[in-house]
Each structure stands twice: as C-alpha cells, then as structure tokens.
Structure 1
Amino acid sequence: MMNSKLKEYIQKLESGFDSIPDARKENLKKLSDYVKAKTENNQVAKLNFICTHNSRRSHLAQIWTAVAAHHFGIENIETYSGGTEATAFNPRAVAAIERAGFKVGNPGGDNPRYRVTFSEDVEPLICFSKKFDDNVNPDTSFAAVMTCSDADENCPFVPGTEFRISVTYRDPKESDGTDKEKETYDERCVQIAAEMFYMMSNA
C-alpha cells in the first residue's frame, strides 16, 4: 500500500497527461509498444535508463517506471539504470523523490545504496550510481532508454540491447547552488514521473 502523499502525487500526474507535447507522446508510445510486446509474449521487459553519471535523470526514470508498473498492475517489468561513468545518486534528486512521498533509506558512504520504498507490498528499489554495464544490470535482451543527450551521443553502442530509444531530459544540475535548485529538481521529477506514467498507461 502506498502512502497518501505519494498517492496524491500520482493522481496529479494522471490529470496532467494533456500537458505532454504530442511529439514526446509519440516517442513514449514506441517504448510502450516495446513493453507491451514483451509482456504479451510472457517475457520480461527489462528497461535500462542511461545517462552520463547515473546520478539524477536515469534514477528518476527507473524509479517512476517501477512505480507506474505497480500502479497499473503490469507484471514482468524490471527497471534498471546506469551511466557512462559512475558517481553517486545525487542528494538533490534523492530529496526530490522524498518530497514526492517516497521513503528513502541512506546507509551513507561515497556512493550510497539507497533503499527507495514506494509501497509496503513491494521490495525497496536499491538505487546507487553504476555504469550501464554493471553486473547488476541486464547484459542481453533489454531496452536502453537514453535519458540525456550527452550519453546518447557519446555512447552510440550499448552491448546486449534489443531496443534503444532516446527520451532525453534537461539536466537539473544546471540549478545546483542557485535559489531555483529545489524548484528545478521538483519540476524535473514531475516531468519524468508524468511521462513514465503516460508510457506505462499505454503498455
């Protein structure tokens, strides 16, 4: 069972689908079609969200897609994330999901393995920065979802991918250290959440 704060957040997401530009909807539906084709054939749809540092956008997409799959009752979905290099799940992005209603456990360290909980009925997601080919990520028969243009351009080949799509987002890092920091991270969190929910609603 999800907590009331997260439920309210999700209700607002679904009412905001009309604000997603048509061009992005068309692109997201391509990913929906991939997921649908896999699940209708009783196969697991493995989605690996990739950005440069695996610190912000790719984690947000991984987390919200897992929540959306649970929300819509879509089984055989596994979500992952990775980068072209590893750093850490940025604390500002972690704070944004906490404000959205997630419970986050932080064990500390340079690259913490955060425990992200969105429902009492689902095991927490273990989120930490890693390369896209880390051994915790799939190495075959998965979709590579490129969430930043830099990673998309600098990583033209992702081994093991059977489907690749570019669903890029502006980096909230640009607001770090400014008075717009919290607002920017919350805006990006909402945008990614809404689009992943829209995507999964069509799967």
Structure 2
Amino acid sequence: MFPKIEKLCRIFESECDLISKERKEILKSIAAMIASEIDSRRKAKLIYICTHNSRRSHFGQVWVNVAAEFYGLSSKIEAFSGGTEVTALHPNSVTALKSMGFEVSTTTSEANPKHDVKFGKQKSTTCFSKVYDDSENPNKDFLAIMTSSHVDENCPFIPEALSRFATPYEDPKLFDTTQLKDVKYLERALEIRREVFYMMSLSGSKKDNAQK
C-alpha cells in the first residue's frame, strides 16, 4: 500500500470521536451484516449508491476496498458503486483522490471513461459512472449503501439487495463553482474514509473478532 494512504488508514482511530453516536449505530449495523456474510462463507459485497455516481459513491467504493486490504479482508469484502443516472467520475473527485495519495489513470477514452484508482503497487479499483444495477456490479446478495438523501428518498427499494442502509453525506457538488471546491471534496472524501474505517474495523467474522 502506498505510504501516504497507509498513513490515512492508521489515523482513523484518533478521529472516532468525530462520528456521532447515531451514525456509529448505523455503521455498526452495516458491519454486523458484513460479518454475517463472511460467517456464511460468502464474500460480502457492498454497492455505494448516489444519484450520479460521480462523487460520494466512488469515495465509498474506493475506501472500502482500501480498508479491506488494510484489515486483511480483501478476499472477503469487495465494494462497488452506482447511481440512478450515468454521468462520469467528476474531475474534482479525481483531484481529491490524487491529493490523498492515490494514483489515478484513465484507461478508456469515451465521455464516461474508466479510471484505474491505484492504492498500492498492485492494488487498485476501477471507477466509472454507471447505474447501480449495471452488469459490472453484483446483481444479488449485496448491501446497498445510500450516500445521498435525494437517492435515499427517491429510490426506497433496491431489488435483490440483502439490506439497505442510509448514510447520506453533504454533496461536494455544491462547491463546484467556488474557490472551496478542492477543500470540500477532500473534506468529504476524508469523512467517508473515517466512517468506512470505523465500520470496517468491526467487520471481521465472529472467529476473526474472537482472535483479536
């Protein structure tokens, strides 16, 4: 894992007090579902869902896959992302990822290109905008994580999801035309990292947790 990203992984425990009690309860519920999937000898699959699949949902996808690697759970947990509309991974999201230490490269040339988001020498995840039920995402037995209030309210039912959780975040899109855009995108990405790591620190199987 790249040193700058590993450093961000290791400091989350000092930030746990920044997560509200109410939010922690939601994250604990997601962690319990992940552990249940692992204990059932299934790979836990998460799809982070927002409207355009261009910002918050990608941050969720990226950080869960990083955390899975960090906790030695990459063979047991995998994250994806999707939206209710197709746009593209926003350039400001790419800037935020790069500022945190990820290496981001475009692997296709269409208007909605695929991006290889690398967090280690041979560790990466693929980001591009798609609807949540795209063929490249799991089509059953997944956890749906709603990252925006809009999509949570307007997409109350996700077919084939094992369970659905709402963890809405402020949309950094609000700052796209302001001088605060880089600050706000990074702020949101780091907030999502903090909550993902809290959740993932609790997500091992009962056997794994008993050995800690």
Structure 1: give runs of 5+ residues left out of the alignment.
Answer: none
Q: Please give the alpha-carbon distance, in whole angstroms, between the structure 2 residues aligned to 1:14 and 1:58.
A: 23
Question: Which residue number corresponds to residue 11 of structure 2?
Answer: 12
Structure 1 residue 59: Cα displacement: 0.4
Question: Which residue number corresponds to residue 36 of structure 1?
Answer: 35
Higher mean displacement: 139-148 or 72-81: 72-81
Structure 1 residue 157: Cα displacement: 1.5
Secondary structure of 1:192 counterpart: helix
Question: Which residue number corresponds to residue 181 of structure 2?
Answer: 181
Instruction: Extract structure 1 runs of 4+ deviating beyond 3 A.
Output: none
Secondary structure of 1:50 counterpart: strand
1:13·1:190 contact (CA, 8 Å) conserved in 2?
no
State the Cα RMSD in Å.
Answer: 1.1
Structure 1 residue 13: Cα displacement: 2.5
Structure 1 residue 173: Cα displacement: 0.5
Alignment of 1:1-203 (within 5 A): 2-74=1-73, 75-107=75-107, 108-122=109-123, 124-203=124-203
1:151-179 Cα distance to aligned partner (Å, 9 max, x none):
11111221111111101101000011111
Higher mean displacement: 102-111 or 89-98: 102-111
Structure 1 residue 43: Cα displacement: 0.7
Q: Please give the alpha-carbon distance, in whole angstroms, between the structure 1 residues aligned to 2:184 and 2:39.
A: 37
Structure 1 residue 18: Cα displacement: 1.8
Q: Please give the alpha-carbon distance, in whole angstroms, between the structure 2 residues aligned to 1:6 and 1:62.
A: 15
Q: Please give the alpha-carbon distance, in whole angstroms, between the structure 2 residues aligned to 1:18 and 1:104.
A: 31
Q: Please give the alpha-carbon distance, in whole angstroms, between the structure 2 residues aligned to 1:7 and 1:157.
A: 36
- Per the normalisation by structure 2, the TM-score is 0.92
Q: Please give the alpha-carbon distance, in whole angstroms, between the structure 1 residues aligned to 2:110 and 2:122.
A: 28
Count of aligned pairs between the two proteins: 201
Q: Please give the alpha-carbon distance, in whole angstroms, between the structure 1 residues aligned to 2:104 and 2:95.
A: 9
2:9·2:70 contact (CA, 8 Å) conserved in 1?
no
1:66·1:79 contact (CA, 8 Å) conserved in 2?
yes
Structure 1 residue 16: Cα displacement: 0.9
Q: Please give the alpha-carbon distance, in whole angstroms, between the structure 2 residues aligned to 1:57 and 1:171.
A: 7
Structure 2: give runs of 5+ residues left out of the alignment.
Answer: 204-212
Higher mean displacement: 45-54 or 156-165: 156-165
Higher mean displacement: 69-78 or 83-92: 69-78
Secondary structure of 1:68 counterpart: helix
Q: Percent identity?
A: 43
